[in-house]
Each structure stands twice: as structure tokens, then as C-alpha cells.
């Protein structure tokens, strides 16, 4: 087994450290931690509690992972933080585990980038290939799909759901759900259209055009939102449009868009 562990790191008995793991000086690793092969933990980072970290993650200095939830209801329950593979977790990030009321787990997928000072609150769920810019702050129970981008200095209210391929602009304040494929920005954040830059990297033109038409019908026509979503589900067979409409129908916090009357010009 090949490991590069500093003699100045503190690793409690019981921690499971995989092959080719590097741990820098003055790190703390709890007894319940599991670190997968190829992961690096830079100096002065702390990993607490029941934290499972997958393969080939890059954890930069002064990261704090798995410290107890910032929730006054927390009373020492058995909770955990689960991080997948190939994530980049930059300096001074803070990831909390779950709580009893949220299922007990904070879960991070694969291939995500968390820039400096990003905070993931308790019971957060992050998909794959997401980018959270500097000081993006997620409150408890927030859920992100895949390929989501969150701009810097942006707080996300608790229980928010952000769909696949969505983007939230920097210095925004988000208090409602953002549907997949859409872009929101502002304080308070409102939908500003589709995340076309992101969509062009991953979707075919016909799919993007179908989403453009659906977006106009849903958010710019002045028609009742859920009635329109139900109609589109019946009329349109495009997979991505169905995903967008399903999200609209299932939202619990509502969609932050500017309502227009039918006779607005």
C-alpha cells in the first residue's frame, strides 16, 4: 500500500485510508472516516464524524468536512457525510453531515468543483458535474441536479431544489426552486431565460429549440403555470420538455418568475 501521510497529521484509530492517499501536515482525520484511493487531503484540513470520501478527490487546505450540523435540533444523532469520486474541494470549504429530520445524510456526487469558502448545509444533496463558485452558500435540505452552476457569493434558501443544467448567477439570493435548463439571477433571483450556454455544450439543437418553445409557453405566455405544464406534457413528446414540466408540477417552493397578464405587450 502506497500512502503519503505526514508525520504531523492526526489520524484516529479506526479510520480507513485507501491506497495512494496523501494527507498533509496538521490534518485531523476522525476514527469513522473512510478515504478512497487516490484522494489527497492538503495541510490543515479536518475531517470529522462519519464521513465517507470516494476515489481521486482533491481536498485543499483548511477544508472542514463532516463537522456537526449547524442546526439547534441536532442532539448527537448518528449522521453522515458521503462524498463521491473525482471532486475538487478548494480552500476553507465547510460541508456538514445530515440531520435526523432530513434522513441523516448529506450526499455529494462525482466530478464536482467547490471553490473556496463554499458551504454545504445539513442534508444537502449534490448531483454530478456541478460547479459552485467562491462563497456559494447552501442552507439545509437544498438539492442540486447534475451540471448545475452556482455563481459566487450566492446564498440558497433551505429546501430549495435546482434542476439539471440550471444556472444561478453570482451575488444572487435564491428563495424558490429553479427548473432544469433555466437561468436565474438577481436579489431576489428571478428566471431570466434558459441556460443556453450550458445547454449548447450538452444538448442537440432540436432539443434546445423545443425547450425554448416550452419556456415561452410556461413563463412568458401569461397562462396558468401548472395548466400549461399539464398541456405540454400531453402535447410534447420531447424528453427534456417533459423533465421541465414535471419539475414545474412537483415544485413545493414555487418558481421565481415574473407573472405576466395575457394582455401584456
The whole-angstrom separation of Cα 232 and Cα 248 is 11
Which pLDDT value is given to residue 198? 97
Q: Is 140 a catalytic residue?
A: yes
The residues of the chain that CATH labels 1.20.1180 are 199-250
Which pLDDT value is given to residue 49? 98
Which pLDDT value is given to residue 80? 98
Which pLDDT value is given to residue 264? 54
User: If you write DSSP's letter for every residue of 199-221 in order, what string do you get?
Assistant: HHHHS-HHHHHHHHHHHHHHHTS
Q: How confident is the model at residue 1 (pLDDT cuts 50, 70, 90)?
A: low
SS3 54: coil
What global pTM score does this model have? Answer: 0.96
Distances (CA, A) of 243 to 146, 161, 176, 214, 238: 13, 14, 18, 11, 9
What's the half-sphere exposure (Cβ side, CA atoms, 13 Å) at 135? 7
B/e letters for 140-169, b = 16+ CB within 10 Å, e = fewer, are: bbbbbbbbbbbbbebbbbbebbbbbbbbbb
Mean pLDDT of the chain: 97
Q: Annotated catalytic residue: which of 122, 129, 141, 161?
A: 122
Angle in degrees, CA 47, 14, 92, rounded to 5: 5
Q: Is 122 a catalytic residue?
A: yes
Q: How confident is the model at residue 259 (pLDDT cuts 50, 70, 90)?
A: confident
Q: Annotated catalytic residue: which of 140, 145, 163, 169?
A: 140
The residues, any chain, with a CB within 8 Å of residue 214's CB and separated by 6 or more, are 232, 236, 238, 241, 244, 245
Mean pLDDT of 182-199: 98
Which pLDDT value is given to residue 235? 97
pLDDT digits (tens, 9 = 90+) for 213-253: 999 999 999 999 999 999 999 999 999 999 999 999 999 99
The whole-angstrom separation of Cα 160 and Cα 230 is 22
Q: How confident is the model at residue 262 (pLDDT cuts 50, 70, 90)?
A: low
Q: Annotated catalytic residue: which of 49, 66, 109, 123?
A: 123
CATH of domain 4-144: 2.160.10.10
The whole-angstrom separation of Cα 163 and Cα 17 is 34
Q: How confident is the model at residue 2 (pLDDT cuts 50, 70, 90)?
A: confident
pLDDT digits (tens, 9 = 90+) for 86-134: 999 999 999 999 999 999 999 999 999 999 999 999 999 999 999 999 9
* Class of the domain covering 199-250: mainly alpha
The residues of the chain that CATH labels 2.160.10.10 are 4-144
pLDDT digits (tens, 9 = 90+) for 49-98: 999 999 999 999 999 999 999 999 999 999 999 999 999 999 999 999 99
Amino acid at each position: 500500500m502506497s500512502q503519503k501521510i505526514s508525520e504531523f497529521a492526526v489520524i484516529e484509530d479506526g479510520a480507513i485510508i485507501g491506497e495512494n492517499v496523501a494527507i498533509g501536515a496538521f490534518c485531523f482525520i476522525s476514527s469513522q472516516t473512510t478515504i478512497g484511493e487516490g484522494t489527497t487531503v492538503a495541510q490543515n484540513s479536518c475531517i470529522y464524524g462519519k464521513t465517507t470520501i470516494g476515489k481521486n478527490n482533491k481536498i485543499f487546505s483548511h477544508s472542514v468536512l463532516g463537522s456537526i450540523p449547524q442546526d439547534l435540533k441536532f442532539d448527537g444523532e448518528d449522521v453522515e457525510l458521503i462524498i463521491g469520486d473525482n471532486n475538487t474541494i478548494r480552500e476553507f470549504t465547510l460541508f456538514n453531515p445530515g440531520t435526523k429530520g432530513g434522513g441523516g445524510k448529506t450526499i455529494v456526487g462525482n466530478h464536482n468543483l467547490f471553490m473556496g469558502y463554499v458551504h454545504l448545509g445539513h442534508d444537502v444533496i449534490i448531483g454530478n458535474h456541478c460547479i459552485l463558485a467562491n462563497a456559494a452558500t447552501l442552507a439545509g435540505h437544498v438539492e442540486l441536479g447534475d451540471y448545475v452552476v452556482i455563481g459566487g457569493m450566492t446564498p440558497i434558501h433551505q429546501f430549495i431544489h435546482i434542476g439539471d443544467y440550471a444556472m444561478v448567477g453570482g451575488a444572487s439570493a435564491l428563495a424558490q426552486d429553479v427548473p432544469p435548463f433555466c437561468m436565474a439571477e438577481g436579489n431576489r433571483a428571478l428566471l431570466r431565460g434558459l441556460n443556453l450556454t450550458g445547454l449548447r455544450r450538452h444538448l442537440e439543437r432540436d432539443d434546445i429549440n423545443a425547450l425554448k418553445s416550452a419556456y415561452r409557453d410556461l413563463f412568458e405566455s401569461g397562462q396558468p403555470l401548472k395548466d400549461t405544464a399539464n398541456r405540454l406534457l400531453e402535447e410534447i413528446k420531447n424528453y427534456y420538455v417533459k423533465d421541465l414540466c414535471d419539475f414545474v408540477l412537483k415544485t413545493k417552493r414555487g418558481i421565481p418568475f415574473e407573472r405576466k397578464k395575457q394582455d401584456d405587450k
